[in-house]
Structure 1
Amino acid sequence: MNSLRRTLLLSLLAALVVVFLAGGLATFSAARTEIDHLMDYQLRQLALSLRDQQFGPPVATPLAPPEESLDFVIQVWDNRGVRLYLSRPHATLPALAQLGYSTVRTAEGTWRVFSIPLLDRVIQVAQPMSVRNRLAADAALRMLLPLLAVTPLFGALIWYLISRGLRPLERLAHDVALRHPDSLDPLCAEHVPDEAQPLVRALNHLLDRLAQALSAQRAFVADAAHELRTPLAALQIQLQLCERATAPDARAAALAELRAGLQRTTHLVQQLLTLARQEPDAANTAEHEDLRLADIARQTLVDHAALAEARRIDLGADALDDSAVVRGDAAALRTLVANLIDNAIRYTPEGGRIDLGVRRDAADTKDARNWLDVCDSGPGIPADERARVLDRFYRGAGQDQSGTGLGLAIVRSIAERHGARLVLDTSALGGLRVAVGFPPVPAAH
């Protein structure tokens, strides 16, 4: 288990041990420096204290073993270089003295030596460096032992403080766990630490998006159920008429009505599925790619040419700029153009005209975009209704054409997914002009 509390505790204790070790090394170094100064002073004072001592010629008989606690070795030479005195004959010190302080390496270890000429003799006092190292280590250890002894107390205190610091997060997690699935109100961040505020804000943003998505889904389901109720009821009535019809002509007419109703219902269901797939929050794994709007427009014109010809509508393109490149989902953009042309054909009277155009804003224009325009010579849409026709299932009053009221809603959804701007106004042909402005492809692409 990846416990934040345990990770913080171990990390802080490890950092504390590292600090103790660093402090111990610093203490040892400082103690060693002070002991060196003090011991050097003692070496000099001990040498000076032997100035008035009398030393006879060296004796042949061995001296008694020195006291083990004595750390100093003393040698005395006369002015002819004859050694008059040696406190520890077994010590392997140089037979010649180097005046002043010096550090000498021998088989017995490293020694600190002080030599000084006094009257008619030379006095040398030496001390092993191991003594100084031991004293410095003892001093550092005595300073660190109390800190090491209270380390468990530090650990308990750190554990308590970490637990206390994480308590607001635990309360926050408890509040989230107790929520109902449909409770999407923002989380209270009043007592949450500053470090956790970004997490709370991100969660609240997510909850807000979920609330909007859930509200849109509920509205979509309610609208879909309402819109499907009427055609399904009509299909049931038409089916009953087919069952009751006895004459061949009556049965054929009833079957034709049933077939037309099935086609309308199938189209409605297809539009509903298309709208659900094109929602901005819907899961969509299609990769975006660089696309030329002119190519999509040409293909859509070919696909709808037969339908336009059947209604004697002049369907064509006034200008298709091949340099207008956008980044998006090819299938979704084909659906967008197809819905625009399908709506234009549906509401343009026979003998009318529909123009499709692709153009670019000037490169130096502020907020330059690539535009797709669909203009028709139909009745158009009043200015006060243009915002509402983008809503699902909305159809203006007095419409005699069959439709689902989803075409422009699908267009708006696809445009929002691609960051495009949707504009509805009056066309030069007298009908409706729908313009979709896509952001240009970044230079990196």
Structure 2
Amino acid sequence: MNSLRRTLVLSLLGALVLVFALGGAATYRMAHGEIDALMDYNLRQFALSLRDRRFAGPNVAPPDESLDMVIQIWDDTGVRLYLSHPHTALPARAQLGYTTVTTSEGEWRVYSIPLLDHVIQIAQPMAVRSRLAADAALRTLIPLIALTPLLGALIWYLVGRGLRPLERLAREVATRRADSLDALPLTGIPDEARPLARALNELLEQLRHAMSVQRAFVADAAHELRTPLAALQIQLQLCERARDETTRAAALGELRTGLGRATHLVQQLLTLAREEPGEGIAARRERVQLAELARKSLADHAALARERGIDLGAESLDDGLATMGEPAALRTLAGNLIDNAVRYTPRGGRVDVSVGRDEGRCWLRVDDSGPGIPPEERERVLDRFYRPAGQVESGSGLGLAIVSSIAQRHEASVVLNASPLGGLRIAVGFSPAA
């Protein structure tokens, strides 16, 4: 279990241990420096205290284990008159002043001074000084080390107290009903947790909007399906009441047409639900040649255009333009653009498809010679189930909504303008593939 509280406590304790270690090292160095200065002073004072003593001849004193200093005295001819510790590893010659000598027994701090007709040398192992400095540093750290468990308990309590607002926020979210999408209160939340609370509120607002859109979609779909289903029921009743074959055949023809419209509406609803941003798992994006996409869509609608007497063709297709996208979804987009233009263009009209580059984007354009759409209604036709007033051709009002949804998922822009053919131009701009 990845506990934030435990992680913070262990991190803080680790930081304290590191600080203690660094403090101990600094204390050791400072104590060592002070002890060096004090011991050097003592060496000199000890040497000066021996100047009045007389040494008649060479003498080696028995060793005294309690004395951590070695004393050597020479006369003015270089004869050693006194040695406090036999078998010492110190050199047999003196270098005046303070020196640090490296021997087989380690480093020694040595002080030599000429007094009257003698040369006096006092030496002390550096290990003695290091031991004293370590003892001083340890005595400084022992109280802190002893207080470490108390510091750990105090840190555990304080971290837990600091995390209580997050626990309250978690309880607030956990105890909510699925349909409770009100914003979380920001009072009492620390500054560090406010970005999380604001992000949750933004997510709740997005969920509220998505549920509102979903409810509106279901209501609109039910309303739109009610009309064709009622018409199918009436046409079925007319078939049942037909008294002769001619009347029955006409009623069956109307029923077949109504079934086609209902089927088309259901298919459009399913397509729109599938193409909504964030619905399902996004398909893998590939490099899509827009010119090839346009050619396939033109071939798919060639029969419909011939049936309705529409001159359907390509004005200019740039084969060098491509975008990254979902091939199936982009084919649905292009198909809906062409299908919409063919259905709403009067017989004998014209529909042109083009692919070109402008202002750094790749544009798929569909122009028609139909009645067009007034400027004030061009943005609304991208909404679901919206149909401009005065439309003679039956439809579901979903074709351009599907186009807008797919374009939004591909971060493409949809622009509606007047067409040079006299009708409407719908252009979709894609980012070029790298």
Task: Return the match for 1:167 from 159, 164, 167.
Answer: 164
What residue is the counterpart of 1:143 in the other structure? 140
8 Å contact kept, 2:232–2:255: yes
Task: Return the match for 1:412 from 384, 392, 404.
Answer: 404
- Residues 199 and 425 (structure 1 numbering): CA distance in 2 closer, same or farther, change over 3 Å? same
8 Å contact kept, 2:73–2:81: yes
Task: Return the match for 2:367 from 375, 387, 398.
Answer: 375
Query: What is the root-mean-square deviation in Å for CA atoms of aligned residues?
Result: 2.6
Question: 1:291-306 counterparts in 2 under 5 A?
Answer: 291-306=288-303
**Which residue type is aligned with residue 347 of structure 1?**
Y
Taking the aligned partners of 1:338 and 1:198, their CA distance within structure 2 comes to 44
Q: Residue by residue, what CA displacement relative to the aligned partner does 1:365-387 show, whole Å, maximum 9, x if unpaired?
A: xx554333323233333444333
Taking the aligned partners of 2:294 and 2:119, their CA distance within structure 1 comes to 112
Task: Return the match for 1:319 from 293, 316, 331.
Answer: 316
Q: Residue by residue, what CA displacement relative to the aligned partner does 1:301-346 show, whole Å, maximum 9, x if unpaired?
A: 2221121112222222333333444333322222222222222222
**Which residue type is aligned with residue 363 of structure 2?**
W
What residue is the counterpart of 1:428 in the other structure? 420
8 Å contact kept, 2:71–2:122: yes
Taking the aligned partners of 2:109 and 2:356, their CA distance within structure 1 comes to 94
Unaligned runs of 5+ in 2: none
8 Å contact kept, 2:368–2:425: no
**Displacement of 1:49:** 0.9
SS in 1 for 2:204: helix
Unaligned runs of 5+ in 1: 362-366
What residue is the counterpart of 2:429 in the other structure? 438
Question: Given the alignment of the two structures, is residue 401 of structure 1 paired with residue 393 of structure 2, yes or no?
Answer: yes
What residue is the counterpart of 1:230 in the other structure? 227
- Residues 148 and 354 (structure 1 numbering): CA distance in 2 closer, same or farther, change over 3 Å? same
**Which residue type is aligned with residue 419 of structure 1?**
E
Task: Return 1-10 or 227-236, whichever deviates more.
Answer: 227-236
- Residues 131 and 374 (structure 1 numbering): CA distance in 2 closer, same or farther, change over 3 Å? closer
Using structure 2 for the length normalisation, give the TM-score.
0.90
8 Å contact kept, 2:62–2:85: no
Question: 1:98-109 counterparts in 2 under 5 A?
Answer: 98-109=95-106
Question: Given the alignment of the two structures, is residue 289 of structure 1 paired with residue 281 of structure 2, yes or no?
Answer: no
**Displacement of 1:107:** 4.8
Q: Residue by residue, what CA displacement relative to the aligned partner does 1:213-240 show, whole Å, maximum 9, x if unpaired?
A: 2221111111111212222333344445
**Which residue type is aligned with residue 42 of structure 1?**
N
- Residues 110 and 351 (structure 1 numbering): CA distance in 2 closer, same or farther, change over 3 Å? closer
SS in 1 for 2:55: coil
- Residues 279 and 136 (structure 1 numbering): CA distance in 2 closer, same or farther, change over 3 Å? same
* Percentage identity across paired residues of the two chains: 67
8 Å contact kept, 2:310–2:347: yes
**Which residue type is aligned with residue 22 of structure 2?**
A
**Displacement of 1:195:** 3.0
Question: Given the alignment of the two structures, is residue 333 of structure 1 paired with residue 330 of structure 2, yes or no?
Answer: yes
- Residues 353 and 88 (structure 1 numbering): CA distance in 2 closer, same or farther, change over 3 Å? closer
What residue is the counterpart of 1:41 in the other structure? 41
- Residues 372 and 109 (structure 1 numbering): CA distance in 2 closer, same or farther, change over 3 Å? closer
What residue is the counterpart of 1:342 in the other structure? 339
**Displacement of 1:247:** 4.8
Taking the aligned partners of 2:314 and 2:192, their CA distance within structure 1 comes to 58
**Displacement of 1:440:** 4.0
**Displacement of 1:203:** 2.6
**Which residue type is aligned with residue 314 of structure 1?**
D
**Displacement of 1:76:** 2.2
What residue is the counterpart of 1:364 in the other structure? none
**Which residue type is aligned with residue 429 of structure 1?**
L
- Residues 115 and 234 (structure 1 numbering): CA distance in 2 closer, same or farther, change over 3 Å? same
SS in 2 for 1:375: strand
Q: Residue by residue, what CA displacement relative to the aligned partner does 1:96-134 show, whole Å, maximum 9, x if unpaired?
A: 333332333445443322222222222222222222112
SS in 2 for 1:94: coil
**Displacement of 1:136:** 0.9
- Residues 304 and 125 (structure 1 numbering): CA distance in 2 closer, same or farther, change over 3 Å? same
Taking the aligned partners of 1:11 and 1:401, their CA distance within structure 2 comes to 71
SS in 1 for 2:351: strand
- Residues 411 and 104 (structure 1 numbering): CA distance in 2 closer, same or farther, change over 3 Å? closer
8 Å contact kept, 1:292–1:323: yes
- Residues 115 and 379 (structure 1 numbering): CA distance in 2 closer, same or farther, change over 3 Å? closer
What residue is the counterpart of 2:213 in the other structure? 216
**Which residue type is aligned with residue 421 of structure 2?**
L
Taking the aligned partners of 1:374 and 1:123, their CA distance within structure 2 comes to 110
Q: Residue by residue, what CA displacement relative to the aligned partner does 1:29-87 show, whole Å, maximum 9, x if unpaired?
A: 1111111121111111111111111223346xx86552x32222222222333333333
* Count of aligned positions: 434
Using structure 1 for the length normalisation, give the TM-score.
0.88
- Residues 238 and 105 (structure 1 numbering): CA distance in 2 closer, same or farther, change over 3 Å? same
Taking the aligned partners of 1:309 and 1:144, their CA distance within structure 2 comes to 95
**Displacement of 1:242:** 4.5
- Residues 36 and 425 (structure 1 numbering): CA distance in 2 closer, same or farther, change over 3 Å? closer
SS in 1 for 2:85: coil
What residue is the counterpart of 1:8 in the other structure? 8
